[in-house]
């Protein structure tokens, strides 16, 4: 692909040079491309021909953006590490819904790492400070003190929150974590379960795993975790155990189950939990793997429930009891909030409904 077949104007051709070559004014040339004004077909052809011969590839977006004051770009700040977030189908489906909604609005998704380092420290990604974006979406992870959020506010970038702590003046899109979990929990109590354990999502940025004893609301920085735990209590259940995981991944659910259900922890099987509420389907799947490895049958020996309503093809013939949330719709709602923000409106909070799905992994206690 030779690229030097053009007149030696040294610099890249610009709309001005095209106009000159075509013998029309700059504004007319602009019209020829933007088609946002009356122009004679003959003139347009002349301009296009000149553009062709100069090797002009169409208006430079940067110029347009400066003029219009919009970049057409929406920054999506992923709370967790990219690698981890993307292993979670939940994130993916939301992102997919978001990207397609924004796409139909002519907006693009700029991926911005949330600035969570391997060792749990938080830094502000340079893109947050420098990228030209019309709106930013903070997704999975608005923290109690959040330098990224602060930076965006300081820059005056309008912010939309997806799944997180409400921020003054920023529209929020979430689901009814609390109500959904409460309904799920009531399902378990109505089956007769009394010894219920919770395998929870991470509490916040500092990733630990293990039993948590202090379940006070202030301990929990991550909103879905908090709300789903509150839902359990709303149903009048005090978990006999809460195990915090470091990420919503199958392996962590499995590790949790191996500990929670182990003979070491409960020498007397009668004291073992009869049901485990995992705060995500991925964790629940892990819990089931762990339980099986310990020789326990689901749901005969232990019931397992999840949250999300994913399609887990490798789960075999079991159907997970879970709370289905509208993932793609969440993405779409985020997109709509962005659109309305750009239109100068002030969208409020959106809470999407969830649905209890009864599967084959819960049953009466042994």
Partner DNA sequence: GGGCGATATCGAATCGTTTCGAGGAGTGGT
Partner DNA sequence: ACCACTCCTCGAAACGATTCGATATCGCCC
Is residue 192 close enough to count as binding DNA by CB under 7 A? Answer: no
Nearer to a copy of itself, 31 or 188 (CB): 31
Nearer to DNA, 63 or 120 (CB): 63
Distance of alpha carbon 219 from alpha carbon 287, whole angstroms: 24
Nearer to a copy of itself, 86 or 266 (CB): 86
Contacting DNA (CB under 7 A), which of 6, 7, 9, 37?
A: 37
Which residues have a Cβ under 8 Å from the Cβ of 152 and sit 6 or more positions away? 128, 136, 138, 159
Give the one entry of DNA, a copy of itself, none that residue 42 binds, where binding means its C-beta sits below a cut-off of 5 to 8 angstroms depending on kind: DNA
SS3 string of 159-224? Answer: EEEECCCCCCCCCEEEECHHHHHHHHHHHHHHHCCCCEEEEECCCCCCCCCEECCCCCHHHCCCHH
What tokens does 192 get? 């007769």
User: CB of residue 143 vs a copy of itself: minimum separation in angstroms?
Assistant: 18
Give the one entry of a copy of itself, DNA, none that residue 154 binds, where binding means its C-beta sits below a cut-off of 5 to 8 angstroms depending on kind: a copy of itself
Distance of alpha carbon 147 from alpha carbon 149, whole angstroms: 5
Nearer to DNA, 39 or 161 (CB): 39
Give the one entry of DNA, a copy of itself, none that residue 25 binds, where binding means its C-beta sits below a cut-off of 5 to 8 angstroms depending on kind: DNA
SS3 244: strand
Contact string (CB under 7 A) for DNA, positions 48-77, x = contact: ----------xxx-xxx-xxxx--------
Strands (E), the chain: 73-78, 108-113, 135-139, 159-162, 172-175, 196-200, 210-211, 241-244, 275-278, 303-305, 322-324, 349-352, 355-357
Helix (H) or strand (E) holding 12: none
Q: Is the separation of the CB atoms in 281 and 309 below 8 Å?
A: yes
User: CB of residue 92 vs a copy of itself: minimum separation in angstroms?
Assistant: 4
Which residue's structure tokens are 């397992």? 304
Give the one entry of a copy of itself, DNA, none that residue 121 binds, where binding means its C-beta sits below a cut-off of 5 to 8 angstroms depending on kind: none
User: CB of residue 8 vs a copy of itself: minimum separation in angstroms?
Assistant: 17
Is residue 36 close enough to count as binding DNA by CB under 7 A? Answer: yes
Which residue's structure tokens are 């004893």? 213
| Total residues found in the chain within this entry | 366
Distance of alpha carbon 124 from alpha carbon 116, whole angstroms: 9
Is residue 83 close enough to count as binding DNA by CB under 7 A? Answer: no
User: CB of residue 156 vs DNA: minimum separation in angstroms?
Assistant: 11
Q: Residues in contact with DNA, total (CB under 7 A)?
A: 32
Distance of alpha carbon 185 from alpha carbon 232, whole angstroms: 6
Chain contacts with a copy of itself (rule: CB under 8 A): 1, 12, 57-58, 60-63, 65-66, 69, 71-73, 81-83, 86-87, 89, 92-93, 95-96, 99-100, 103, 106, 108-113, 125-127, 130-132, 153-156, 168-169, 249-251, 254, 285-286, 289, 313-314, 316
User: CB of residue 87 vs a copy of itself: minimum separation in angstroms?
Assistant: 6
Distance of alpha carbon 207 from alpha carbon 10, whole angstroms: 55
Is residue 27 close enough to count as binding DNA by CB under 7 A? Answer: yes
Nearer to a copy of itself, 110 or 240 (CB): 110
Contacting DNA (CB under 7 A), which of 6, 7, 9, 40?
A: 40
Nearer to a copy of itself, 180 or 335 (CB): 335
Angle at 78 between CA 73 and CA 82, to 5 degrees: 115
By CB under 7 A, name the binding residues for DNA: 11-12, 14-16, 23-28, 30-31, 33-34, 36-40, 42-43, 58-60, 62-64, 66-69
């Amino acid at each position: 692909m030779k690229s030097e077949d053009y007149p030696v104007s040294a610099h890249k051709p610009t709309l001005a040079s095209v106009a000159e070559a075509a013998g029309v004014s700059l504004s007319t040339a602009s019209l020829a491309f933007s088609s946002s004004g009356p122009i004679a077909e003959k003139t347009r052809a002349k301009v296009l021909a000149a553009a062709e011969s100069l090797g002009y590839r169409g208006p430079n977006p940067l110029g347009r953006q400066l003029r219009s004051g919009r970049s057409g770009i929406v920054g999506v700040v992923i709370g967790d590490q990219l690698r981890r977030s993307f292993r979670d189908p939940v994130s993916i489906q939301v992102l997919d819904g978001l990207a397609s909604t924004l796409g139909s609005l002519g907006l693009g998704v700029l991926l911005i790492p949330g600035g969570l380092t391997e060792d749990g420290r938080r830094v502000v990604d340079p893109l947050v400070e420098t990228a030209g974006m019309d709106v930013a979406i903070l997704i999975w992870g608005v923290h109690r003190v959040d330098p990224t959020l602060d930076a965006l506010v300081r820059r005056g970038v309008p912010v939309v929150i997806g799944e997180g702590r409400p921020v003054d003046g920023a529209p929020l899109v979430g689901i009814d974590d609390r109500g959904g979990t409460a309904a799920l929990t009531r399902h378990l109590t109505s089956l007769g379960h009394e010894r219920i354990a919770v395998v929870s999502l991470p509490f916040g940025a500092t990733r630990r795993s293990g039993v948590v004893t202090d379940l006070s609301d202030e301990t929990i920085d991550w909103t879905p975790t908090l709300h789903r735990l509150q839902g359990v209590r709303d149903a009048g259940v005090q978990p006999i155990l809460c195990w915090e995981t470091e990420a919503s991944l199958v392996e962590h659910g499995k590790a949790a189950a191996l500990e929670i259900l182990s003979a070491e922890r409960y020498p007397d099987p009668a004291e073992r939990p009869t049901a485990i509420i995992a705060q995500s389907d991925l964790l629940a799947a892990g819990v089931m793997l762990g339980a099986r490895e310990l020789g326990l049958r689901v749901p005969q020996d232990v019931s397992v429930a999840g949250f999300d309503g994913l399609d887990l093809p490798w789960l075999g013939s079991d159907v997970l009891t879970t709370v289905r949330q509208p993932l793609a719709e969440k993405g779409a709602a985020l997109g709509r909030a962005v659109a309305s923000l750009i239109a100068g409106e002030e969208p409020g909070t959106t809470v999407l409904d969830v649905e209890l799905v009864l599967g084959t992994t819960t049953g009466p206690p042994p």
